[in-house]
Amino acid sequence: MATIVAIIIALIAYPSINNILHAGTDSQQNEEEMEKVNPVGPAFSADSAYAFVKAQCNFGPRSMNTQGHEQCKQWIIDRFQQLGCSVTTQQADLKGYDGTTLHATNIIASINPDITTRILLCAHWDSRPWADNDPDSANWRKPILAANDAASGVAVMLEIARVIMPHLAETKIPLGIDFVCFDAEDWGTPQWANVADEGNTWALGAQYFANNLPNGYKDWRYGILLDMVGGQGSRFYREGISMQYAPEVVKKVWRAARQAGFGSFFPKSDGGMITDDHVPLNQIANIPVIDIIPYYPDCQQSSFGPTWHTIADDPQHIDPQTLRAVGQTVIQVIFTEC
């Protein structure tokens, strides 16, 4: 009798179960259809982006209050202006972990500055003053060249600006883009300092920006932070703070990577929660910003990769194809948004 009842219940329930299964299949098929390789927008040049990395490194270390820092600042401003962007700066004297006054400059380069519908792209441009994660302790107080941990993010933004500007002008797409280069990100407490690091000594320029949004600020739909986007062997897992504050933006960007043909660089897996420039943008300015940042789960030197905060962070350890994967993905996002 129990068997008969079970069969009757199963027969009654079958249509609804069948509908659920079909709904799940349809949803999966729709998602797969959306994620087929279908690149849009202009081609990102890996060679050009790599040249932008090397140009910044030619100034030497760009740590705060140094000649290289000031020279590179003017170079970044000049490059964005030459590409047709409207450029403004935000200057502030900030306090480092050790009380040092840091003469900081956030650089804001805008495309279509009068359009209210906007996307924020950002990266930090200052370099780490100490190689405090170097495997050789003799290097711990030496400045780093910061090809990946600084120059790569700025280089990708410059190349994006270079290739999309003509297309946006020709099509008159009603979309504004702001490229923000944050300063004083990497003066965080060094590992050799006898001082507790609570996380607030990092991302000082972004903290200032979030508390002092520039004149003419318009609501950004969302933002994308590019940090260390050129390292050899990089894979960009879904970062935890990004998933907490802007999961839909993460989904949008990771889908764009697959559509652009670079899904292998953006696995559907979660990484760690990172203290970075996107934290104050989310928590203070309430701008949904995600972090594209590498995660090396099997690297003993650092989960950020073997060159992180070491003297080996130089152009020789940059992979132009990693720059291309990130840059083309962001272009895909922009032109899908349009």
Per the domain annotation, does 154 fall within a domain?
Answer: yes
**Domain for residue 28, yes or no?**
no
d(CA 3, CA 20): 24
Q: Is position 198 within any domain?
A: no
> Does 185 reside within a domain?
yes
| Residue 183: CB atoms within 10 Å | 29
Quick check: helix, strand or coil at residue 6?
Answer: helix
Q: Across the chain, how many H-helices and E-strands are there?
A: 9, 6
d(CA 253, CA 276): 18
Tokens (6 digits) for 252: 């949008």
**How does residue 117 score in pLDDT terms, banded at 50, 70 and 90?**
confident
Structural domain contains residue 126? yes
Q: Examine residue 17 and state whether it is found in any structural domain, yes or no.
A: no
* Beta strands across the sheet bearing 176-182: 86-95, 101-111, 176-182, 118-124, 220-226, 289-292
Using the predicted structure, report yes or no on whether residue 6 has a pLDDT greater than 50: no
Please tell me the distance from the alpha carbon of residue 30 to that of residue 37, in angstroms, as a whole number: 14
Cα–chain-centroid distance for residue 254?
A: 12
Residue 32: is its pLDDT beyond 70?
Answer: no
Task: Measure the CA–CA gap between 246 and 223, rounded to whole angstroms.
Answer: 9
Q: Which of 294, 222, 285, 275 is nearest to 252 (CA)?
A: 222
Specify the CATH number for the domain of residue 68: 3.40.630.10
Residues shown for the chain: 338
305 vs 149: CA distance, rounded Å: 11
Regarding predicted confidence, which is higher, 191 or 21?
191
Average pLDDT, integer, range 13-34: 51
Token pair, residue 233, equals 């062997």
In the predicted structure, residue 242 carries a pLDDT above the cut 80: yes
pTM, two decimals, is 0.90
Predicted pLDDT of residue 29: 53
Phi, psi for residue 176 in degrees, rounded to 5: -105, 145
| Residue bearing tokens 């994660």 | 133
State the pLDDT at residue 8: 33
* Residues 127, 229 contacting (CB under 8 angstroms): no
pLDDT digits (tens, 9 = 90+) for 175-233: 899 999 999 999 999 999 988 888 899 999 999 999 999 877 768 999 999 999 999 99
Q: What is the pLDDT of residue 168?
A: 75
Whether residue 101 lies inside any domain: the answer is yes
> What local confidence, expressed as pLDDT, does residue 195 receive?
86
In this predicted structure, what is the pLDDT of residue 214?
87
- Burial (CB < 10 A; 0-12, 13-18, 19+), residue 242, is buried
Selected residue with higher pLDDT from 55 and 33? 55
Task: Quote the domain boundaries for residue 245.
Answer: 44-191+203-337
Predicted pLDDT at 63: 98
Query: In terms of DSSP H, where are the helices of 151-230?
Result: 152-171, 204-211
Residue 137 has what pLDDT? 97
State yes or no: pLDDT of 10 exceeds 60. no
User: Quick check: 19 pLDDT over 70?
Assistant: no
Supply the pLDDT for residue 199. 87
Angle (CA) 98 284 119, round 5° = 115
- Pairing mode, strands 101-111 and 220-226: unpaired
Look up residue 205 and give its two tokens: 């320029």
Query: Residue 194 has what pLDDT?
Result: 85
**Residue 30 binned pLDDT confidence (cut-offs 50, 70, 90):** low
Number of domains in the chain: 1
Checking if the pLDDT of 305 tops 60, the result is: yes
Q: Does a structural domain hold residue 7?
A: no
Q: What is the pLDDT of residue 3?
A: 34
Q: How far apart, in whole angstroms, are the C-alpha atoms of residue 67 and residue 3?
A: 84
Question: Is 1 a residue whose pLDDT tops 80?
Answer: no
